[in-house]
Amino acid sequence: MSFFESRDPVFDGYVLDNAPLKQLAAGFDWVEGPVWFGDAGCLLFSDIPNNRILRWTPGSGITTYRQPSNYSNGHTRDREGRLVSCEHGARRVTRTEHDGQITVIADGFDGKRLNSPNDVVVKSDGTIWFTDPHYGIMTNYEGYAAEQELPCNLYRVDPVTGQMDAMVTDANCPNGLAFSPDESRLYVADTGRLFSDDPQHVRAFDVGSDGDLTGGDVFYVVDPGFADGFRVDTDGNLWSSAADGVHCISPNGDLLGKILVPELVSNVCFGGRAKHELYVTATTSIYRVSLNRQGTQHP
Ligand code: MG
């Protein structure tokens, strides 16, 4: 039985019938934050409860990149290729310099500590955008249980000037985020609060020339499950995590098809020689499937 579930004929052209959904590695506890390093030919990802960032390399398999990782969650790369990481444990966003030094990008707002930065993207102007839900301080499983000091906002930081702004303040629990290829739109997942019936959807904001956000209507309701993290392909389709796998959603918000994955998916990223491979972090395993699509140039 195929693990592709088409909902629109266009999806049949996005997938390759003879490409397997391959389990690359297993045995983790909760994996997240995949990011591709083409220059190093490897994938980095977080195994959050085990407080480590792991590296998967074709041929060598799994090695440890950083442990402890301050319970790192989401990662991306900035426009100079440097790793940018969300750290639940230290309640901050950091950048790993080319020489290995770690620079703190943000650890507070308005005189209060951040909650537990979850996911991050970098815009073409170098500004760093990240979400700060409270998941990592709710329990000791994915960080250190602590009191919440700030609402669950989405922030933008200019790493040159240090200017930091709360850009989305009306979300419940903002989680994954991604810009459309032309950066005219910002997608933000809201995963609601745990143990409640609060919203599980993706919102779409219009991005102005100075980065200001307007709109924010519901773009896609995730069912089953929730959109934790996602990435965008060069045609603007959103490839989003969901409880039954990965959903491919058109720029109009239509479900085009699914990749059914046997574990709960947390996030995806494009990688490989032509950014035509989709790497999937799913609970205890890493999967990969080749597509007839390509991810945007910057993860
Ligand atoms: Mg997340």
Query: Is the distance from CB of 150 to CB of 112 less than 8 angstroms?
Result: yes
Give residue 155 CA to ligand 1 midpoint distance, Å.
15
pLDDT band (50, 70, 90) for residue 246: very high
Give residue 237 CA to ligand 1 midpoint distance, Å.
19
Task: Give ∠ CA 128-130-135 in degrees, rounded to 5.
Answer: 160
Percent of the chain residues topping a pLDDT of 70: 98
pLDDT tens for 277-298 read 999 999 999 999 999 999 997 6
Rounded Cα distance, 122 and 155, in Å: 12
Query: Is the distance from CB of 159 to CB of 105 less than 8 angstroms?
Result: yes
Give residue 18 CA to ligand 1 midpoint distance, Å.
30
**Which residue type does 184 have?**
S
Q: What is the pLDDT of residue 1?
A: 53
Give residue 32 CA to ligand 1 midpoint distance, Å.
7
pTM of structure:
0.97
Rounded Cα distance, 290 and 142, in Å: 31
Give residue 118 CA to ligand 1 midpoint distance, Å.
5
Give residue 53 CA to ligand 1 midpoint distance, Å.
15
pLDDT tens for 25-46 read 999 999 999 999 999 999 999 9
